[in-house]
Amino acid sequence: MSRIVTVAAAQLGPIARDEPRAAVVARMIALMREAAERSADLVVYPELALTTFFPRWLLDDAEADAFFEAEMPGPETRPLFDEAAALGVGFHLGYAELTREEGETRRFNTAILVDKAGAVVGKYRKVHLPGHAEHEPEREFQHLEKRYFEVGNLGFPVWEALGGRVGMLICNDRRWPEAFRVLGLQGVELVLIGYNTPTLNGLAFEPPHRRAFHNHLSMQAGAYQNGAWVVGVAKAGREEGVDMLGGSAIVSPNGEIVAQARSVDDEVIVAACDLDDGAFLKSSTFNFAAHRRTEHYGLIVETTGLVLPRGKAP
Ligand code: CDV
């Protein structure tokens, strides 16, 4: 049996600080049309796809809020939804979300899953926020995600969508095996991930090839260890003086990269993903019910999400 979902990773090249949303959305629509011509069912865009990666600067509240979306879709993003519905493709979009919840203004680094009819069917808010909350002058560039965003409060859900079981992670989440595993424990078949990863660490030297390796290593391990397809999509290229990794990739449940972007610009890569390809791993090596030995892991994961050491303190 096979259940093919044809997935397009729509990598974006650099977005200038003053590039209007309408111009970015036009670029995204061009990629969506190319993806549809190549038979895509689903188009996956990067993290914070609608703007430049603004956490690289210390901004005042009004400057920062200009990079957030108070509505989704709003007037500037509506064309993306209309085009997707007209083409009959679903999409995944990362954006900065400004919302009112429990009487308070809240800000999250968010991704949504939109079905082929243009309806939002899933929302995920980034849990692992990297970087720092205060300006750190010793850094070559800032990474102020902890200043601009709250930790996501929606957990790690999966959705029955596009004929499969779909989950989402955002950028730094991909480095954390437990994030993948929480999706894996729910039988995820397709994990969608957008990222903004500088090729250099702003604080200490790390060779770019190693950063590129860790990007793929995390996604390939997450795919294999959970028997799921993984689609990782970059915002790439030299953006406002900072080089960002490309390397957008579609990874099979065996951990193999089946399609990879070659440029650091706007680029579409496509793969026909058989969602049943993970079934053998899920029923053999990674049959969790048969082989996981949580009682020996020395950790108790409580339903609250707290992880407590079980043994005596040394
Ligand atoms: N946007 C990110 O989450 N970026 C981080 C960088 C800071 C390392 C990442 O994990 O790629």
**Predicted confidence (pLDDT) per residue in 2-26, tens digit:** 899 999 999 999 999 999 999 999 9
Instruction: Spell out the CATH class of 4-283.
Output: alpha beta
Write out pLDDT tens, residues 83-126.
999 999 999 999 999 999 999 999 999 999 999 999 999 999 99
Q: How far apart are the CA of 73 and the centre of ligand 1, in A?
A: 26
Cβ distance 142 to 135 under 8 Å?
yes
Ligand 1: atom nearest CA of 126 is 3
Q: How far apart are the CA of 287 and the centre of ligand 1, in A?
A: 31
Ligand 1: atom nearest CA of 53 is 1
Q: How far apart are the CA of 192 and the centre of ligand 1, in A?
A: 16
Mean pLDDT of 226-253: 98
Give the global pTM: 0.95
Residue 65: pLDDT over 80? yes
Residue 227: pLDDT over 50? yes
Please list every protein residue whose CB sits less than 6 Å from any atom of ligand 1: 47, 130-131, 143, 171-172, 175, 195-197
Active site residue 171: yes
Q: How far apart are the CA of 174 and the centre of ligand 1, in A?
A: 9
Q: What percent of the chain has pLDDT over 90?
A: 90
SS in 3 state form for the chain? CCCEEEEEEEEECCCCCCCCHHHHHHHHHHHHHHHHHCCCCEEECCCCCCCCCHHHCCCCHHHHHCCCECCCCCCCCHHHHHHHHHHCCEEEEEEEEEEEECCEEEEEEEEEEECCCCCEEEEEECCCCCCCCCCCCCCCCCCCHHHHCCCCCCCCCEEEECCEEEEEEEHHHHHCHHHHHHHHCCCCCEEEEEECCECCCCCCCCCHHHHHHHHHHHHHHHHHHHCCEEEEEEECEEECCEEECCCCEEECCCCCEEEECCCCCCEEEEEEEEHHHHHHHHHCCCCHHHHCCHHHCCEEECCCCCEEECCCCC
Buried b (16+ CB within 10 A) or exposed e, 86-102: ebebbbbbbbbbbbeee
C-alpha closest to that of 83 among 48, 31, 38 = 31
Mean pLDDT of 46-73: 98
Name the residue ranges covered by the structural domains of the chain. 4-283
Q: Are strands 158-161 and 120-125 parallel, antiparallel or unpaired?
A: unpaired
Which residues fall within 8 angstroms of residue 24, CB to CB, at 6 or more apart? 12, 15, 49, 50, 51
Block residue for tokens 């309408």:
22
Write out pLDDT tens, residues 282-307.
999 999 999 999 877 755 555 555 55
Ligand 1: atom nearest CA of 196 is 1
Q: How far apart are the CA of 131 and the centre of ligand 1, in A?
A: 8
Two structure tokens written together for 169: 């992670």
Two structure tokens written together for 175: 């480095």
Active site residue 126: yes
Active site residue 47: yes
Rounded to 5°, the CA angle 177-178-182 comes to 120
pLDDT at 294: 84
- Out of 51, 128, 172, mutate this one to test ligand 1's pocket (max ligand atoms within 8 Å of CB): namely 172
C-alpha closest to that of 159 among 180, 181, 128, 190 = 190
Q: Which of 47, 69, 97, 145 is catalytic?
A: 47
For the chain, what is the mean pLDDT?
Answer: 95
